[in-house]
Amino acid sequence: MIGLSQPAPTARPYLNGESPAEVVADGSRHLEVQHVSKSYAGAQALRDVSLKVAAGAVHALVGENGAGKSTLGKIIAGAVQPDQGAMLVNGRPVSFRNPREALAGGVALVRQEITLVPSLSVLDNVFLGTEHVSGGIVRLRSQRSRFWTLAEETGFELDPTAKVSMLRVGDQQKVEILRAIVRDAWLIVMDEPTAALDDNESARLIEFVGHLRANGMGFIYISHDLEEVLTLADDVTVLKDGAHVSTSPAAGEAVDGLVTKMLGRPLRSMFPQKRQRSFDNARVILKVEGLTRAGVFEDVSFALRAGEIVGMAGLVGSGRTEVARAIFGADPCDAGSVELNGTPCRVRSPHQAIRRGIALVPESRKDQGLIMVGSVADNLALPSMREMTAWGIVQRRRQREAANRIAEAVDVRMESADMPVSLLSGGNQQKVAIGKWLVRTPLVLIADEPTRGVDVGARLTIYELIQRLAEEGLAVLMISSELEEVMGLADRILVMHQGRLAAELPGHADESHILSAAFGRQHLLPDADL
């Protein structure tokens, strides 16, 4: 079977004295979770949840952020210990005390959070802990051969010698997936595996998951993409507020029905009603002319007007994120200029960008947008610490008052502003990542993948927030890999292709025009052609 030829690593015995390998050695392999509960800091993450999945099947978990999907996946893979309940493999009780024991039992976890070693190469990360060794020496030729076989089968184009720290988020996710495949797992828990991939890469991954399933591998598939779930899954379980709502064959479900179960109400529209207005006479807030960074992007020019939402589309690697980082001063430019309110503006650092009124919500909130060990209040006040200090001392009361005001404005669901932001759901973390810029309102908001890893309910809240900020006069640049998101919100659409601005389209442009430009098949189109 593809990807399953390497022996699983050994681990400590189970609590009942049997090794993981002995438990799964014979019979039709299946895993069962019985009446599992888990709480964090008084908050109930799971309530009496039961689940069963067999080798050769894809069992999807869906629900809003905070529904308990990731917690359940981590419990199954040994990364989290339940407060109550039991787990059985082939009908026999097991207790995975850590991910290594779970892996020895054939259960691997591909996390939503990247867990690679940044300083090591792609090849070293893929085979970390399962190196091909002979006579105490790592057989690099054997590992490279197996790596290229897997890369070809998955369609993942990765340089095995590249350092992981230099990879984009999407490529790091590919390394995570390959690392799980080489570990001889019969069951893989995949938490948002396609969230950082573009449409083509996602399709290749889904195809590969289907191939592994046909060869006997089982999957617990956690995803916010309901269409993806219905395409791939055999069964789908809906969780809400940590409790089991339903488990049913995916073939008998539809997106609308799943959304109703997840939210407890029908979702009439994924997007707020789109504004029908022209911004031709609106004041230009941000003007970019000839922005260039050698080998990354070239001669990028566009303008953002007050109250306008401009969407930026394009394939992963087209230069969208890099342009945003350059405008924000996070990366240098070789040529080009930026103007704010008609005045030339040399931004050489994020600090200067913030002082001039440019805000950036980065594509990875956990790596670049938030301090995960900090509190909600600390994160919300971070860009405005000058206003929160007196004589070099942080005024905690002022900070907490501002944090509570912004948290209420952007609908952050939390116990208190003092709780660690890491304990919030993904959707609420993203609201904090956006809300931190609103303590003092910026002129320009750049939102890079604003709803990545966010459930359908939180997405609508974020869409409404972005639209509300635009209506208050902000100029918004929204970068997204999801065409529906761009088409649903943007008043105007910019399309990047291989580091250049390939097209500027009206907000009512359809998917075919955007995709054609993203693939370099057309250039600037007049409204009459659309």
How do residues 364-378 score in pLDDT, each as one tens digit? 888 888 888 888 888
- What is the residue-averaged pLDDT of the chain? 83
**Is 113 a residue whose pLDDT tops 70?**
no
Model confidence pLDDT, tens digit, residues 476-522? 999 998 888 899 899 999 999 999 999 999 998 888 888 888 887 75
Tell the burial category of 229 from Cβ atoms under 10 Å away from its Cβ (0-12, 13-18, 19+).
buried
The domain ranges of the chain are 55-71+106-263, 284-529
Which pLDDT belongs to residue 267?
54
**Is 525 a residue whose pLDDT tops 60?**
no
Q: Which residue has the tokens 């999945």?
A: 53
Model confidence pLDDT, tens digit, residues 201-230? 778 778 878 888 887 889 999 988 888 899
Token output for 472: 């208050």
Answer yes or no: are the C-beta atoms of 27 and 72 closer than 8 Å: no
Highest mean pLDDT among 301-310, 338-347, 444-453: 301-310
Average pLDDT score over residue span 392-404: 76
DSSP string covering 317-343, please?
A: TSSHHHHHHHHTTSS--SEEEEEETTE
**Is 530 a residue whose pLDDT tops 50?**
no
Domain 55-71+106-263 architecture: 3-Layer(aba) Sandwich (3.40)
**Is 15 a residue whose pLDDT tops 60?**
no
How do beta strands 30-40 and 43-54 pair? antiparallel
**269 falls in which pLDDT band (50, 70, 90)?**
low
Highest mean pLDDT among 6-10, 268-272, 295-299: 295-299
Answer yes or no: are the C-beta atoms of 411 and 51 closer than 8 Å: no
Q: Which residues contact 496 (CB under 8 A, 6 or more apart)?
A: 297, 300, 312, 313, 314, 318, 319, 320, 323, 502, 518
Angle at 320 between CA 314 and CA 326, to 5 degrees: 170
Answer yes or no: are the C-beta atoms of 62 and 258 closer than 8 Å: yes
Q: Fold identical between 55-71+106-263 and 284-529?
A: yes
Model confidence pLDDT, tens digit, residues 327-340? 999 999 999 999 99
Task: Kindly report the CATH class assigned to 284-529.
Answer: alpha beta
Token output for 425: 């759901």
Instruction: Give alpha helix (H) positions in 233-306.
Output: 255-263
Confidence (pTM): 0.60
Which pLDDT belongs to residue 85?
95
Which pLDDT belongs to residue 175?
87
Identify each DSSP E strand in 192-259 by its residue range.
218-222, 235-240, 243-249
**120 falls in which pLDDT band (50, 70, 90)?**
very high
Q: Rounded to whole angstroms, how far apart are CA atoms 12 and 33? A: 21
Average pLDDT score over residue span 151-172: 84
